[in-house]
Copies of this chain bind each other. A is one copy, B any other.
Amino acid sequence: MNPILEIFSQGEEVVTGQIVDTNAAWLSERAVALGFTVARHTAVGDKLDDLIALLREIAQRADCCICTGGLGPTSDDLTAEAVAKAFGLPLEFDGIAFEQIQRFFARRNRVMPESNRKQAMFPKGAERIDNAWGTAPGFSLQAGRCWFSFVPGVPSEMRHLFLESIQPTLASRFLLRPGKLVSIKTLGIGESSIQQLIGGVEIPAQVQLGFRASPDDVQTKLLFPHDYPETAMTALVSEVAGQLGDHVFAIDGFGQAGGDLAFVIDRLMTGGKYTLAVVETVSQGLLAAKCVGADWLLEARYEQSVERLVQKLAVTVNADKFAGSELEQPTAGPKGEIQECISYDLPATAQAIAAEIQKTSAADFVLVQLNGGDNKTFRDKDRAIILYNTLLTGDGFHQTTHSVAGPINVKQNQAALLALDLLRRYLQHKEL
C-alpha cells in the first residue's frame, strides 16, 4: 500500500474562487509520481476554527500532508497559530529564520515591517524550511499519523521549496514505490465506445484502469504498480491500443510517442520535411492556430462562403451542381435532424479546391475542410453538421467524412482536430 497524502490549501482567495488553485494539481501530480496515493484536496478560508478542525482531521487519516498558504505577515495568515492550537505546541521564535527575513529586505534596500517578525514564529519542534525565494520560511512537523509540510501559497516559491527541500525529505522519510502511468490518447471515439472495444481485454486487478475525456482527446489510462513486469506491461498496453486501432494518435508514458495531436503531427511533418497549405471552414482558423509556430504550415485560409472561395479560385468542377442558390440556402431540417440533403458534391468540390490551391502554393500537401449546413446550423447546439476533409498529397487525394454536433465551440474544435487527424493518419501510415 502506498502512503496516503493529502493537499491542503489555505486562503479566502482560493475558497471564494478569486483564484484557481493550481498548486493542488501541481503538488498532486508530483506526489503520485513519487509513489504516494493522493486521497484528498481540501481548501478552506482564513478562519482559525476551520483550520484547526481540518488539521486535526488530516492528522488522523493521512500519512503526509502538503499545506500551502497562510504563512504571510498579515493578520489573516493563520497557519502557524492554527497548527500550534490544533496540536498543543506553543509558538517559538526562530532567530535564524528572523535573520533570513531581515536579509531578504536588506538585499532589496527596504526596511522590514514589524509585522514580518511573525513569520519567524514556529510551533515547538517544527523543522524550518528555508526560503530563498520570498520572505516566508516553511516548516514541517509530525502530528498524529501525519507528516505535515507547510509552504507559502505563491506558486513559484511553493514549487522551489517542494522540489529542493520537501521532495528529498519525503523520499527519505517514506518507503515509496512509484507506479507507472500509461495514457492511450484517441480521437474520434467516445468513452463508452472505448469501454466496449476493450471490454474483452483482461485487465489484471493490480492495474488501475481509468478514462479521461477532454476537448482535445479521450485518454484511456493504465496505472501499473511499481513492480509490474515490463514485458507484461508492454503486452497489455499493446493489446488495449490494438483494440482502439487507428483512433490512437499517441501513447504517453510509454516510450517516445507521447504528446498532443499537434505535437505528433509536428514530429511527423518535420521528420518528413513536408509543408502544408490549409483551407478551413467550420474550424475557422483554429486548425492553423493549433499548429502555432510550425515552420511547415505555410498558409491557411478561412472563407465563410464556399461559393465565394470557388469563384475566387475559379474552380470549374461541378459547375452544374454548384450553380444557383443551393449552397447559400441548404435544406433546413427540423431541430435535431442532421442535414443530409446536400444537392451538390462537397467532397468533389473540396478536391477541386485542393488542386487549385496546389497550383499557387509552395506547399507539398493541401488540406481542405468543407461542411454541409449553414452558419445557423453551426451555431445551433442541437444540430449536427457534416465535415468533408480532403488531403491532397503526392499520392493523390485522401478523404474523411464526419458528423459533428454540440455547441459551436465544440464543433469548431472537433472540426480542427478531425481535419488534422486525417493528416496524422496519412503521415503515420506512410511512416510504417
Q: Which chain A residues have a beta carbon within 8 Å of chain B's beta carbons?
A: 9, 12-22, 24-32, 38-47, 50, 54, 72-76, 103, 107-110, 113, 115-116, 132-133, 154, 156, 190-193, 195-196, 209-214, 221, 280, 283-289, 291-293, 295, 297-305, 308, 312, 336-338, 360, 362, 375, 378-379, 381-382, 384, 403, 405-410, 412
Contacts and interface: CB of A to CB of B under 8 A. Distances in A.
A410 B29 CA distance: 24
B295 A384 contact: no
B15 A38 contact: yes
Contact of A292 (B13, B38, B47, B408): B408
Contacts of A20: 20-22, 24-25
Contacts of A156: 407, 409-410
Given A15-B39, A15-B41, A297-B302, 8 more contacts: A21-B24, A21-B41, A73-B195, A103-B336, A108-B384, A285-B285, A285-B286, A301-B301
A36 to B, nearest CB: 10
Given A287-B285, A362-B308, A17 B29 contact: yes
A193 B289 contact: no
Contact of A21 (B21, B73, B301): B21
Given A16-B29, A302-B301, A304-B299, A283 B293 contact: no
Contacts of A209: 76
A256 to B, nearest CB: 21
Given A284-B291, A408-B293, A192 B378 contact: no
